[in-house]
Amino acid sequence: MIREALRRTLSVLLALAGASGTACADTPLSLPAQVGKQIFFDQNLSGSRKMSCATCHDPANHYAPPNALAVQRGGPNLKQTGTRAVPTLTYKNFTTPYADLADNPDGVSAPGPGGGFTWDGRAPTLADQAQIPLLSPIEMANKSFQSVVAKLQAAAYAPLFKQAFGANAFKDPSAAFGDALAALQAYQLEDSSFHPYTSKYDLYASNKIGGTLSAAEIRGMVIFQDPARGNCAACHYNGPGVGGGVAQFTDYSYEAIGVPRNVKDIAANRLVRGRRAYFDMGLCSRSDHPPASSKSFCGLFKTPTLRNVATRKVFFHNGQIKSLTEAINFYATRDTHPERWYPTVAGVVQKYDDLPARYRGNIDTQMPLDGRAPGSTPPLSAQDVSDLVAFLGTLTDGYVPPPAGSAAAAQ
């Protein structure tokens, strides 16, 4: 019932938003998107009455978490935590539903797992993604979709909801819930703050006045693209976007890179009677990709966009890495100095400690994670890492170029 209502509403909203799923900055929001905006910031739509979508997806931090927690707190008392870091909601407008054999936007790489929303792509649309936190017992903690609809019906913006979806919008709770999810999607597609393209890089790439990069940023961009060094663009594709549009800095693919286990922040990762009882298996944690039938997908997680990455406080699906410099250093030294990242037991480094041994053949071996011998020279120097950090900083939205003729402009 909910799925049918959602499909019906989405067909209307996508026509309103346009085929590209984008809107100009000065385009007024449609009525459904206006409803979605109200829902996005409504803390009453949670079991605690203290949590909204914006709590974890803060618009002041590019719709990512406003804090440095590896996993966010939720549930009826805001004391429960999950097992994955919260990703940004920005730059999702070109994401297609998940497919085992998705075309790679670079036009060169072979089709493979790609698309979808969340770290494992289980949600085919933004509307489907919105349903997850609303009903999760460790997030917004509503007991049922009917309870969400009851709260919507009592909200101050209920008349706007009826204006958008009809005078009898609340008569069928299943249809009303589908409308609410579709409204959240419409808001994210139509409001330009979710995909503003206002970074220093965008100014540079569009050749507008003031769009210059520093020497370090240029060096970092070269390393980013160089397949023999950073090779970042192999997954964080920075070529033309969908339909020749602006680069998204992701190819929407899934990779296993052996991120270290996060024991400190994720309770499920701690030992139970001396054993590791839980592993986050990424793609094959989905019910439609169980390990028994999808062994090759185990340990794979979605490649996020790198836009606004310099403003994040934690990195990778489990939030184990706490700074952008350290994230790049992990790529540079995972193989040459694994003791930096993994525990050592009886003198043996426990490499890939968050992935069972039988699935480690899935680990990506592209540069710079090329499996070189421990103790050998890393593929990236300290200067390379510094330059990459400088370049990635140019992907932060809200850049304002210095006045022409100023000392800063001359640099």
Q: Are residues 230 and 164 in the same domain?
A: no
For residues 203 and 400, give the distance between their C-alpha atoms in angstroms, rounded to a whole number. Answer: 10
- Report how far residue 235's alpha carbon sits from residue 106's, in angstroms, rounded to the nearest whole number: 9
- Within a domain: 404: no
Whether residue 336 contacts residue 374, with contact meaning beta carbons closer than 8 Å, is answered with yes
Mean pLDDT of the residues in the chain: 92
Q: Is residue 285 part of a domain?
A: yes
Residue type, 335: D
Residue 11 pLDDT greater than 70, yes or no:
no
Same domain, 238 and 320: yes
Q: Are residues 140 and 183 located together in one domain of the fold?
A: yes
- The token duo for 182 is 């579709």
7 found inside a domain:
yes
Q: Is the pLDDT of residue 74 over 50?
A: yes
Q: Does residue 410 lie in a domain region?
A: no
**CA 76 – CA 139 distance, rounded (Å):** 8
- Say what the pTM is: 0.91
In this prediction, residue 107 has a pLDDT band, given cuts at 50, 70 and 90, of confident
Within-domain flag for 53: yes
Residues 14 and 103 both lie in one domain: yes
Run of H or E residues at 275: strand 275-276
Query: Do residues 148 and 279 both lie within one domain?
Result: no
Q: What is the pLDDT of residue 271?
A: 86
137 and 249 inside one domain: no
Predicted confidence band of residue 98 (pLDDT cuts 50, 70, 90)? very high
pLDDT value, residue 383: 98
Please state the domain count of the chain: 2
Judge whether 334 lies within some domain.
Answer: yes
- CATH number, domain at 98? 1.10.760.10
Whether residue 365 is found in the same domain as residue 316: yes
Mean pLDDT over 266-288 rounds to: 92
pLDDT score of 100: 96
Do 224 and 114 fall within a single domain? no
21 lies in the same domain as 59:
yes
398 inside domain: no
Look at residues 163, 194, 225 and tell me which one is the last residue of a structural domain. Answer: 194
Q: Is the pLDDT at 2 greater than 80, yes or no?
A: no
Does pLDDT of 183 surpass 90?
Answer: yes
Name the domain boundary from 194, 225, 240. Answer: 194
User: What does 199-245 look like in DSSP terms, one character per residue?
Assistant: SHHHHHHTT-TT----HHHHHHHHHHH-TTTT-GGGTS--S--GGG-
15-19, 21-25, 278-282, 300-304, range with the lowest pLDDT: 15-19
For the record, the structure tokens of 135 come out as: 């009903």
Domain of 344 in residue numbering reads as 214-393
Q: Can you give the pLDDT at residue 273?
A: 78
**DSSP symbol at 172:** S
Predicted confidence at residue 293, as pLDDT, reads 84
Q: Is residue 209 part of a domain?
A: no
187 and 258 both lie in a single domain: no
Does 55 share its domain with 141? Answer: yes
Residues 96 and 227 in one domain: no
pLDDT in tens, 390-411: 999 999 999 998 876 565 655 5
